Structure 1
Amino acid sequence: MALTATGMGSGLDITNIVKVLVDAEKTPKEAMFNKTEDSIKAKVSAMGTLKSALSTFQDAVKKLQTGDALNQRKISVSSDSFLSATADKTAQAGSYGIKVEQLAVNHKIAGTNVTDPTLPVGEGSLAFDINGESFSVDIAATDSLAAIAKKVNEASDNVGVTATVITSDAGSRLVFSSNKTGEDNQINLTATDTSGTGLTDMFGTGNTTTLQDAKNAVLYIDNQKVTSQTNEVKNAITGVTLNLTDADVAKTTTVKIEQDNDAVKTNVQAFVDAYNSLVTAIDKMSSYDKDKKTAAALQGDSMIRSIESQLRSVASGRITAADGSSIALYDIGIKTDRYGKMSIDDTKLTKALSEEMPNIEALFSTPGQGLANRFYDLADSYVKSRGLIADRETSYTNQQNRLDDQREAFSLKMDQLTARLTKQFNAMDLVVGQLNQQSSGLVDRLNSLPGAVKKS
């Protein structure tokens, strides 16, 4: 009778024997797979950290690309009762006495008053003209004051008129206001009736009232008269914007403009801090721990070495300013130590700021060769959507896919090995079982022969 239970014939634990044999081949290979996968994951994580560090550095240097952050002005106003002021980098240091005679105001006109604003006015159109631009609205026979105001305000081609219904002791009336101040922005209103005379009676010539004349702002800068259509007066003083808030020609407001060295120092320090943070991040992900004898994920990586080399190259570069002079980071007090970290000599930077403000701007912001532009482009070559880091991440993804395929193929191979060994051992077990049965039968027959003596 054939044996069907594994190991019954030989008495061996075939299942465990097969497992031990398979594990002897599988365990080292799986350990290698796991080590490779852990390495890939560590590199993917490190590459993400590197991309983040480069993006942060890129954001920091972007602020220096235009040069505005490196050539700043601070402005002070002796009193905020009449004006406020801001200055850009083109403003020259100086002090100015300013008197405001008149604020700019917008033009306002109104139609005649009515007792009941809900009643219709008339049928026809209202045409508006402001500073050479015009639009018109059609008025229906059923339109009230509020309906007319709504049509004016919502007109797609409205060139700058706001309509409002005002109710006073005298009644209700439509008021039209120019959205812009100044004498150039007066409202010219023409009423046209297609039925009756209602619109002309309310808005026609002689029936409208000027509630507020359009006026220009009038001010004096060091006793020189300046007229402006708005209360925002730009470049009457080069690089300075004045925002007028009140008028009294008898009062003088002093506006003082100075170089803002402290703000520039803050922006230079922010650049140095961002650079050092990037260098620290690169060092960390490419380091080797001698005590633990472990290497960081990107230790010895060619990309890391390339970034470090390029950073040092840009940082050590010299820029030719517009005046023909040459300037480098060292000239403004920024030096680099043997670990690649930057530091600032405040005394040297202060001197550079007092003497060479335009050149400091040139050092960072000159198109093409300025350090901020070169650092930005360097970082961008790695972090952009199809940059070097994206290529590396694709490579890691491909490595992981190949590893997954190898795992799957190896798993199939181990399943086949398990089946083959199980089959072989079962065949051996069957033979051993059959031999044992034959041996037992032979002994029984020998014992049954005549003259056989059984030992007790």
Structure 2
Amino acid sequence: MAITSSGIGSGLDINSLVKQLVAAEGKAAKDLLDRRESVAKDRLSALGSLKGALSSFKSVVNKLKNSDLFKTHAATSSNESILSVSAAASAAVGTYSISVERLAQAHQLVSGGSGFANSSAVVGTGTLTIQLGADSSNAFSVAIGPEKNSLAGIRDAINAAPDNKGVTASIINVDDGVGGTVSRLVLTSNNTGTTNELTVTASDDDGNNTDATGLSQLISSNMLETSVAQDALVKINGFDVTRPSNTITDAVDGLTLNLKAASPGTPVSVGVSLDKSAISKTVGEFVDAYNKLGSVIRSLGSYDAQSKEAGSLLGDSMLRNLQSQLRSDMGNPVTTATGEYNTLQMIGVEIDASGVMSLKQDKLEAALAVNVSTVASVFASSDGVAMRLDSRITSYVQSGGSLDSRTQSLNGTLREISNAREAQQLRLDKLEASLLKQFNAMDAMVAQFNATGAFLAQRFK
């Protein structure tokens, strides 16, 4: 009886058989490479999580490393509608009586006369020169040719002048008093104060530089002054202070005055005090960031006996060393601390047996009340906790640091695994080709035997 299976002679599914033999041959190596790859990828992910947590913690540590945090001042105003204030680290603690006698104003001129029919109305040609203040170096000229001689053209030419010293031109359309509208050119100084007062002169192509026709219509004497150039005037503890701006930064060291409204003779009490709440807030952020880091470290190095699941860095010496070093950096006394406080615990920052940090707010506030500089030295002196931690974390997260080296090593392992897979596949491809050749030769021989057997059986019937 003839065989009709997929093998011509043997009736075997040779392709399927060879694939199974090749898969069986490569299974052990494939499983090993899969396990190595899975472990490497898990560790890479774990290192990424650890680096992220360390970097977040470092950003808060950097705040505490900066001694300016402990010089932060809060400034208050008894009347924010008249005057608001802010203080820099250099501000001195104290109280000031300030009255806003006058606000600074920007100078503004509007074209006079009966106005222009519209923004396309022709004004004239020539050259306009605009000067700010008494200093002639603060002047610039604008050439007005036939292509720019309209009101809109002049506006655009002024605004586009490459050496414009600080003037903005605009057009307003206003009532003409008889039921229609007229257009007027508005020139406004970009800055307040008398040093920015506008003076406009013209070289008019009509030959008269001062009359009310042609380009000379726009000189200062032919325009209306709608806002006077004016310096701000305040009295600080009874003494006059005049400045060109409504933001005054140089009257009281470290204090910025933002003038809101003039109220002559109305004293506003301004107080400057050390902002202890900002320090407490940052210490609280430090505690939270450390606990998040601690949670990541514990998770990566943990083992759950019930689920039999282990963290990706269980037993990793680097993780153990990091945890130990951080605890040491935060627990050891600060040798450069001044005053009666030299540890985190003494100022209210404590770590329990499970590694969780907490802040005793009343203890911190008591320490700040005694001496802020003492608390500052616990964190920001040369051997301070923040200085130690910043140096420690940097050694792990910087380029070429511990985490970077470990990451590069794992990436190298993944490349090796990829190369091993390619080499293994080449070997298996060769094995498959060899097996197919052998099985096909066997199948052809079986087919020949079957044909011979059938021939003899037919002859001897």
Q: TM-score range by the shorter chain?
A: 0.7 to 0.9
Deviations 1:47-87 (A, max 9, x none): 22122212322333344444454443333332233111222
In structure 2, the partner of 1:61 is: 61
Secondary structure of the 2:258 match is strand
In structure 1, the partner of 2:132 is: 129
Aligned equivalents of 1:254, 1:433: Cα separation in 2? 112
Shift of 1:240: 2.1
Contact 1:126 1:139 in 2 (8 A): no
Aligned equivalents of 2:152, 2:210: Cα separation in 1? 14
In structure 1, the partner of 2:88 is: 88
Q: Is 1:218 the equivalent of 2:233? A: yes
* TM-score where L is the length of structure 1: 0.80
Secondary structure of the 1:164 match is strand
1:308-387 alignment, distance < 5 Å: 308-316=323-331, 318=334, 320=336, 327-365=342-380, 371-372=385-386, 374-384=388-398, 387=401
Contact 1:114 1:172 in 2 (8 A): no
In structure 2, the partner of 1:99 is: 99
In structure 2, the partner of 1:34 is: 34
Contact 1:182 1:215 in 2 (8 A): yes
Q: Which moved more, 1:407-416 or 1:236-245?
A: 407-416
Aligned equivalents of 2:439, 2:194: Cα separation in 1? 107
Shift of 1:269: 0.5
Contact 1:99 1:252 in 2 (8 A): yes
Equivalent pairs, count: 443
Shift of 1:193: 2.6
Aligned equivalents of 1:388, 1:347: Cα separation in 2? 38
Q: Which moved more, 1:149-158 or 1:10-19?
A: 10-19
Aligned equivalents of 1:155, 1:11: Cα separation in 2? 93
Q: Which moved more, 1:10-19 or 1:268-277?
A: 10-19
Aligned equivalents of 2:23, 2:132: Cα separation in 1? 92
Cα distance change of structure 1 residues 34 and 107 upon mapping to structure 2, 3 Å threshold: same
**1:139 aligned to 144, 147, 154, which one?**
144
In structure 1, the partner of 2:122 is: 119
Aligned equivalents of 1:213, 1:15: Cα separation in 2? 97
Shift of 1:31: 2.3
Deviations 1:248-283 (A, max 9, x none): 223222223333333321211111110111121011
Cα distance change of structure 1 residues 378 and 158 upon mapping to structure 2, 3 Å threshold: farther
Shift of 1:136: 1.6
| AA in 2 matched with 1:99 | S
| AA in 2 matched with 1:147 | G
In structure 1, the partner of 2:188 is: 177
Deviations 1:312-354 (A, max 9, x none): 3432462636x79884423422233344432222232111211
Secondary structure of the 1:230 match is coil
Shift of 1:420: 5.5
**2:158 aligned to 138, 152, 155, which one?**
152
Q: Is 1:408 the equivalent of 2:411? A: no
1:257-336 alignment, distance < 5 Å: 257-316=272-331, 318=334, 320=336, 327-336=342-351
Q: Is 1:186 the equivalent of 2:205? A: no
In structure 2, the partner of 1:233 is: 248
Contact 2:192 2:229 in 1 (8 A): yes
Q: Percent of counterpart pairs with the same letter?
A: 36
Cα distance change of structure 1 residues 381 and 188 upon mapping to structure 2, 3 Å threshold: farther
Shift of 1:214: 2.1
Cα distance change of structure 1 residues 274 and 30 upon mapping to structure 2, 3 Å threshold: same
In structure 1, the partner of 2:259 is: 244
Contact 2:203 2:209 in 1 (8 A): no
Aligned equivalents of 2:245, 2:6: Cα separation in 1? 101
Cα distance change of structure 1 residues 114 and 432 upon mapping to structure 2, 3 Å threshold: closer
Q: Which moved more, 1:69-78 or 1:199-208?
A: 199-208
Secondary structure of the 1:343 match is strand
Aligned equivalents of 1:244, 1:204: Cα separation in 2? 32
In structure 2, the partner of 1:451 is: none
Aligned equivalents of 1:380, 1:150: Cα separation in 2? 55
Deviations 1:127-147 (A, max 9, x none): 323363222211224512332
Contact 2:124 2:205 in 1 (8 A): no
Secondary structure of the 1:236 match is strand
Shift of 1:149: 2.0
In structure 2, the partner of 1:453 is: none
Please, which runs of 5 or more residues in structure 1 have no aligned partner? 442-446, 448-456
Contact 2:130 2:198 in 1 (8 A): no
| AA in 2 matched with 1:101 | E
Cα distance change of structure 1 residues 375 and 190 upon mapping to structure 2, 3 Å threshold: farther
Q: Is 1:197 the equivalent of 2:213? A: no
Deviations 1:134-171 (A, max 9, x none): 22211224512332222212222211112233446486
Shift of 1:228: 2.1
Shift of 1:110: 4.1
Shift of 1:227: 2.0
Aligned equivalents of 1:79, 1:13: Cα separation in 2? 95
Contact 1:71 1:361 in 2 (8 A): no
Cα distance change of structure 1 residues 278 and 420 upon mapping to structure 2, 3 Å threshold: same
**1:161 aligned to 158, 167, 171, which one?**
167
**2:412 aligned to 374, 382, 398, which one?**
398
* Alignment root-mean-square deviation, CA: 4.1
Contact 2:107 2:198 in 1 (8 A): yes
Deviations 1:431-456 (A, max 9, x none): 99999999999xxxxx9xxxxxxxxx
Higher-Rg member (1/2): 1
Runs of 4+ residues deviating >6 angstroms: 3-21, 323-326, 421-441
Contact 2:5 2:13 in 1 (8 A): no
Cα distance change of structure 1 residues 131 and 351 upon mapping to structure 2, 3 Å threshold: farther
Aligned equivalents of 1:272, 1:139: Cα separation in 2? 67
In structure 2, the partner of 1:444 is: none
Secondary structure of the 1:393 match is helix
